[in-house]
Amino acid sequence: MTETLHKGPILRLGTRNSPLAMAQAHETRARLCAAHGWDESMVELVPVVASGDKVLDRPLAEIGGKALWTKELDQWLHERQIDASVHSLKDVETLRPAELTIAAVLPRADKRDRLLGAKSLADLPPGAVIGTSAPRRAAQALSLRPDCTVVTFRGNVATRLGKLEAGEADATFLAAAGLLRLGQDDLGHALAPAQWLPAPAQGAIALECRADDAETCKLLAAIDHAPSRAEVMAERALLTGLGGTCHSPIAVLCDYDGEGLTMRAALFSPDGKDKIEDSAQFAAGDLEAPARLARELLAKAPPSIAAVFNGAS
């Protein structure tokens, strides 16, 4: 028998401590171990309570935005307390610290949202209350069901399910990928992209490390999934082109079919009354095409939509 000589972990992987984040960290560890022939002890999971998990009574857009999900882990990477961090890419701002790089995107799970509380939006009773704190979900829901009311629903997946159970709303939305990773993908009903597009990079897990840490970059690159990376980088390029933030009701879906990418995108006014949409086909790795689509969308945006994208460069 060969003796294991290594003394500590090879890789310290920072993660938020929510159940979904921990499930994603475990998936990442399993993929790294499979790719490199490691045993589990070689990847140490280092959990943190992120700022975004501390304040739960106000929408994220009001308290500091997506940066609140990454702030602590970015700092730990900077201080070299961890070698890499794992994120739901949907929650990661498009503008990142220059010292960091997305070294891997894992195979993307189901990209769709699921509706909980009713079989479809059309099935909701008149004047139903919908719980969500995502501007995109609120605007999309009101676009299809202007008679409904939206109430703020924050917290992790279990908290939101609890609020639905307690009757705080008639329905809510959760990402299929999150439910899947928590083993609860039997809950609710998937919303078809023809009617309902997800958020940029929904369903994707990204691994970040310091760009100058060649060793870690290489270890992480071994589990990168090129088609998923192509899709989500295109979606993030659209978001960048729109000057989008977590305030912005932006829905987008990019699908790689083995040859190229097809992108469908929609922008909404916050009240859901106005909507513009467009689509484009382009090659994987082309980030100019989604930027062009962003410009085309902005060019035809009515004032109600343009107002949300005032900060766009």
Ligand X SMILES: NCc1[nH]cc(CCC(=O)O)c1CC(=O)O
Q: Which residues are catalytic?
A: 91
Q: Which is nearer to ligand X, 178 or 272 (CB)?
A: 178
Kindly identify the residues of this chain, within the stretch 139-168, that bind ligand X according to CB under 6 A: 157
Q: Which is nearer to ligand X, 161 or 289 (CB)?
A: 161
Answer whether 208's CB lies under 8 Å from 85's CB. yes
Q: For 37-49, b where at least 16 C-beta lie within 10 A, e where not — what string?
A: ebeeebbbbbebe
Answer whether 156's CB lies under 8 Å from 148's CB. no
* Contact pattern from residue 105 through residue 144 relative to ligand X, giving x for each residue in contact according to CB under 6 A and a dash for the rest: ----------------------------------------
Q: What is the smallest separation between the CB atom of 151 and ligand X, expressed in angstroms?
A: 16
d(CA 97, CA 65): 15
Q: Candidates 95-103, 121-129, 202-210, 268-276 — which segment interacts with ligand X by CB under 6 A? A: 202-210
Q: What is the smallest separation between the CB atom of 162 and ligand X, expressed in angstroms?
A: 14
Among 121, 122, 102, 105, CA closest to 113: 121
Among 245, 198, 199, CA closest to 62: 245
d(CA 146, CA 246): 22
12, 29, 66, 90: which one binds ligand X (CB under 6 A)? 90
Q: For residue 91, state whether it binds ligand X (rule: CB under 6 A).
A: yes
Q: Which is nearer to ligand X, 40 or 165 (CB)?
A: 165
Q: Candidates 83-91, 97-105, 123-131, 234-242 — which segment interacts with ligand X by CB under 6 A? A: 83-91
Q: Measuring CA to CA, how many Å separate 308 from each of 101, 245, 249, 295?
A: 29, 10, 8, 15
Q: For residue 202, state whether it binds ligand X (rule: CB under 6 A).
A: yes
Q: Which is nearer to ligand X, 105 or 289 (CB)?
A: 105
113-116 vs 189-190, strand pairing mode = antiparallel
The alpha carbon dihedral of 87, 48, 27, 177 has a sign of: negative
Q: What is the smallest separation between the CB atom of 146 and ligand X, expressed in angstroms?
A: 23
Among 7, 135, 31, 22, CA closest to 86: 22
Q: Candidates 92-100, 170-178, 231-239, 273-281 — which segment interacts with ligand X by CB under 6 A? A: 170-178
Q: Candidates 41-49, 143-151, 200-208, 287-295 — which segment interacts with ligand X by CB under 6 A? A: 200-208
Among 256, 257, 255, 253, CA closest to 266: 253
Q: What is the smallest separation between the CB atom of 80 and ligand X, expressed in angstroms?
A: 27
Q: What is the smallest separation between the CB atom of 4 and ligand X, expressed in angstroms?
A: 34
Helices (H) and strands (E) in the chain, counts: 11, 13
Q: For residue 235, state whether it binds ligand X (rule: CB under 6 A).
A: no
Residue with tokens 């995502």: 134
Residue 217: phi, psi to the nearest 5? -55, -45
Q: Site size for ligand X, by CB under 6 A?
A: 11
Q: For residue 175, state whether it binds ligand X (rule: CB under 6 A).
A: yes
Q: For residue 177, state whether it binds ligand X (rule: CB under 6 A).
A: yes
Residues lying near ligand X in the complex (CB under 6 A) are found at 88, 90-91, 157, 174-175, 177-178, 202-204
